[in-house]
Structure 1
Amino acid sequence: MITDKVQTAKIQLGDHIEAWHNGKLFHKGRVTDVVHSLDLIWIRDARTGTRKLLDPDALEIIKVEAPQAAG
């Protein structure tokens, strides 16, 4: 898996990201909405299927490759 720490301004709709804090994975999923002027990022959480608002000031946002489809 290729990872790349990114600034909020570089995150786009459809990107797959992970959100880390103190070395622990808190959320991962596909970006559904971004408001660059306010540094707001929403994802569809891959584990729960719920929509999550991420705080880039509190979390380390890592851009990752899209998960491979099963089969």
Structure 2
Amino acid sequence: MGMNTEELLAPSPAKKKAVHSTADLACGDLIEAAYRGAVIRRGTVTRITSGDELFWITDDLSGTRRLLDVTEFDITRL
């Protein structure tokens, strides 16, 4: 996954809680998603799929919906 450095976000200074499964999430949670130590997404959870580790957020940076996989990113709840 090649990320453009312009898409990286500064980590939030807020207290964070690691998310290991979609069972740790609820709609309305504010999360950060990091890849290889760099925060690439921050947003509000809008939908959680059942039966897998996928969930949707509204990305704060772009305002668009993004599908994230708990198994591919380091997810933290803010």
Q: Is there any run of 5+ residues in structure 1 with no aligned partner, and where? A: 65-71
Task: State the Cα deviation string for residues 3-55 of structure 1 (Å, max 9, x = none).
Answer: 01012211000000000011101100000000142111100000000000002
Q: Does 1:2 align with 2:15?
A: yes
- Structure having the larger proportion of residues in strand: 1
SS of the aligned residue for 1:33 comes to strand
Q: Is there any run of 5+ residues in structure 2 with no aligned partner, and where? A: 1-13
What number of residue pairs does the alignment pair up? 64
Root-mean-square deviation (CA, aligned residues, Å) is 0.9
- Normalised TM-score (structure 1): 0.84
Identity in percent: 36
- Normalised TM-score (structure 2): 0.77
Greater RCO structure (CA 8 Å; 6+ sep): 1
8 Å Cα contact 1:9/1:36 also seen in 2: no
SS of the aligned residue for 2:51 comes to helix
8 Å Cα contact 1:31/1:44 also seen in 2: yes
The code of the aligned residue for 1:3 comes to K
